[in-house]
Amino acid sequence: MDIQDIQSIKQRFKIIGNDPHLNRAIEIAVQVAGTDLTVLINGESGTGKDVFPQIIHQNSSRKHKKYFAINCGAIPEGTIDSELFGHEKGSFTGAHETRKGYFEEADGGTIFLDEVGEMPLATQARLLRVLENGEFIKVGSSKVQKTDVRVVAATNLNIPMAIEKGKFREDLYYRLNTVPIHIPSLRERKEDIRLLFRKFATDCAEKYRMPALQLTQEALIMLENYRWDGNIRQLKNITEQISIIENERIITPDILKQYLPNNNMTSLPTLYKGGREEDTISERDLLYKVLFDMKNDIIELRKTVKELSENRINVGHIADNQSLTPINATVITPMEEEEDAFVYVQDNDEVEKTEPVKETTSLSLEQTEKELICKALERHKGKRKDAAKELGISERTLYRKINEYQINL
């Protein structure tokens, strides 16, 4: 497929950019369009995955048949089977008449299953049967029906990780992934950012009859070094915000940074794994978590010892008063911030005083704790609830720690 054909596809489907990875994805989509193979499109949210199923459908022999785009994550679990495969009258409460599902309606055409990773396991089993032999059964029916549908699926999840966690069927993954297409993120195609910004700024100017925005060289560099977790969708939103709100048409870094969240403004190399909760935690992160839990244990230990001290337990008289410790025991003296802690071990009638236990400095633990919290917040894009769940602490405790360490979100 030559460059002119690719440019023709871009113009037809309004795709902007010249990145080689983007061109390769378009080339694969056109090549696979003439077959009936299933396609799995993978890429981050906001990269434009929904355009590629249309390219496949419009360049196939099915282009004159129906095309359905279905967001699996937006359909409630209790009704998704009915939506996809239909139901019989009276099969459940509210089923007042027989209804055709998308797989029956799209016979001979194409179905695009967006966010297929959010599909319930029971529905995944039904989908696998359709992909293998074209058979499905309506909800509330025992009659097997046939359909001839081309399936294109898309997800922004790490499916292999979801398989390990038992949230996605491995056999369905391999059936869907006959032909994989990866859509590059915006930070993988930095040279296209200038073109996209210009396109969005021009469209907004024409729509609202105002001069188009222009970037200074420094602002362009800032734009290209931004992470763009929301990809093209985020870039478009920010461009439209600046176009409407700002009176100045020449955009400088000082203006631009007001619209870019600070937690993502970096030109330094960053670790990015492309997922959300499904991302694996590195060994270093696990070590941080152990240290974090260890500090919490130390705090709890201090509280316990302080309570023993307030109850006036005299450790020095343990040897003389056997009733305090009817069995061999280890007793720890109260830990104070400025003093060493001593451990007294009672063995039969002897009391031995061990060497002082130096309190571990809290500085390194606090640094480690802060870094762990920052990494968790970055992994979950600033969502405190999800970060707190990963760290094993309450959201209220996490909020207090953020204020304590002055962490900028």
Query: Comparing 24-28, 183-187, 364-368, which segment has the lowest mean pLDDT?
Result: 364-368
What are 408's two structure tokens? 């900028």
Quick one: which of 403, 397, 176, 156 has its CA closest to 296?
397
Average pLDDT over residues 260-283: 51
What are 63's two structure tokens? 């282009």
What are 20's two structure tokens? 């080689």
Please tell me the predicted confidence (pLDDT) of residue 373. Answer: 86
DSSP element (H, E) containing 287: helix 283-310
**Identity of residue 381:** K
Distance CA 256, CA 222 (A): 8
Say which CATH superfamily domain 3-184 falls into.
Answer: P-loop containing nucleotide triphosphate hydrolases (3.40.50.300)
Distance CA 234, CA 143 (A): 47
Please tell me the predicted confidence (pLDDT) of residue 264. Answer: 56
Please tell me the predicted confidence (pLDDT) of residue 285. Answer: 60
Give residue limits of the domains in the chain: 3-184, 187-264
What are 106's two structure tokens? 């799209």
Average pLDDT over residues 280-306: 66
Pick the CATH number of 187-264 from 3.10.20.30, 3.40.140.10, 1.10.8.60, 3.40.50.2300: 1.10.8.60
| DSSP class of 190 | G
Residue 184 has pLDDT above 70, yes or no: yes
Residue 248 has pLDDT above 90, yes or no: yes
User: 135 and 145 in contact (C-beta within 8 Å)?
Assistant: yes
Average pLDDT over residues 127-152: 96
Query: Facing residues of 362 across strands?
Result: none
pLDDT in tens, 48-90: 999 999 999 999 999 999 999 999 999 999 999 999 999 999 9
Please tell me the predicted confidence (pLDDT) of residue 355. Answer: 46
- pLDDT band per the 50, 70, 90 thresholds, residue 327: very low
- pLDDT band per the 50, 70, 90 thresholds, residue 188: very high
Average pLDDT for the chain: 83
More confident of the two residues 361 and 42: 42
